[in-house]
Structure 1
Amino acid sequence: MATTTDTRSNLIGTVATTELAAGAAGGFVGSVLFGLLMQFVIPAPMLEMAIPAMYGIEGPALAAGWAIHQFHGVVLGIAYVLLVGNTGLSARAGTLPDAIPLGVAYGILTTVLLAVLVMPLWLGAMNFGGAPPFPNVAFPATLLSTVGHVMFAVPVAVAYALAAGE
């Protein structure tokens, strides 16, 4: 009789290390896509000024903006894995057809929580002169942000599905 060893840690619930790595990798890839949208479509100064300002870095600082943006993407990719792995969504999230709508939903969720609510407060707290109003809801900026967050989140969801799928 064969036995198997469970590689899941109690510290992170029921999430396997390979799933966390997939979330991080998907977050990195998705952040590149979103970053390209920010650099070439979304009006400046998001990547070179606003993102560095969140950490007290005066811009323009494009390299710092990219590095911070990539870090955020990896962290949010891992957060997606922890979210689906500990909320009963892991079975759905582990299938490619269901991963896409879950990724879209996560992109919308991150837009609302981070771009609309957290970012204006954070930038205001850092005394950034270009901080958007709270809540940060403006057309077309919020629509472009939503597109970018979805472009970020779908690769995260797909990476998780490929790692967790049966």
Structure 2
Amino acid sequence: MATETATQTVDSTATGDWQGGVVAGVLGGIVMGALMVMQMRPVLEVAIPSMYFLSGGLAGFTIHVAHGAVLGVGFAAVAGALGTLSTGKSLGLGIAYGAALWLVLAVFVMPVWLSAVGSPANPPLPNISTTSLVGHVVYGAVVGLAYPAVRGQF
């Protein structure tokens, strides 16, 4: 006599993790963008849009927030690799992530990119700016705080 046993499997794509990263990244991008409006307006109005052969503050702000969303997914990947994080640990990771983004993207990648496209806002290489560092750390802090709250909500 034969018996059959049914097993149920659940496939998960863990979309909440990366979607939470997008939302947290957008929030961080908006907050950092607001700081840029007050302290680094030429970067937002000239440098960032000229990376894509565009001009103007609205284009710069929109691109900056889009970059924030993509980099938020990167944060979600790092946080996911580390496992479940408390809000405090996520905040610390976010601050470190923001500082790392500044070091790689703002200090080195952006000047090279702006030079390659012939931007009128071509900064020196390396582009060391404490105002930019603070902005990126704030971005990371917002992402680190927001991510645990929005992760898995989608």
Q: Which residue of 2 aligns with 1:5?
A: 10
Contact 2:90-2:145 within 8 A present in 1 as well: yes
Give 1:129 shift: 2.3
The SS at the match of 2:130 is helix
1:50-93 per-position Cα deviation (integer Å, ceiling 9, x unaligned): 00000011x3x11111110111010000111122323xx123xx
Q: Establish whether residue 35 from structure 1 lines up as the match of residue 24 from structure 2.
A: no
Q: Aligned-pair distance for 1:153?
A: 1.5
Partner of 2:70: 75
| Cα distance between partner residues in 1 of 2:33 and 2:9 | 41
Does the residue aligned with 2:76 lie in a helix, a strand or coil? helix
Given candidates 18, 21, 25, the residue that maps to 1:20 is: 18
Aligned residue number for residue 42 of structure 2: 45
d(CA) in 2 for partners of 1:103 and 1:4? Answer: 34
Q: Following TM superposition, where does structure 1 have runs of at least 4 consecutive aligned residues deviating by more than 6 angstroms?
A: none
Identity %: 38
Mapping of residues 5-154 of structure 1, within 5 Å: 5-8=10-13, 16-42=14-40, 44-57=41-54, 59=55, 61-86=56-81, 89-91=82-84, 94-137=85-128, 142-154=129-141
Match of 1:160 in 2: 147
Native 8 Å contact 1:120 1:133 kept in 2: yes
Deviation for aligned residue 1:124: 0.4
TM-score by length of 2: 0.86
Aligned residues: 145
Structure 2 unaligned runs (5+)?
Answer: 1-6
Shift of 1:151: 1.4
Amino acid at match of 2:105: L
The alignment yields a C-alpha RMSD, in angstroms, of 1.8
Q: Which amino acid aligns with 2:62?
A: A
Preserved CA contact (<8 Å) 2:79 2:90: no
Residues 99, 161 of structure 1: 8 Å contact kept = yes
CA distance in 2, matches of 1:146, 1:99: 19
Amino acid at match of 1:118: V
Q: TM-score, normalised by structure 1?
A: 0.80
Q: Distance in 1 between matches of 2:80 and 2:8?
A: 23
Letter in 2 for 1:45: P
Query: How many Å apart are 1:97 and its aligned residue?
Result: 1.6
Structure 1 residue aligned with 2:3: none
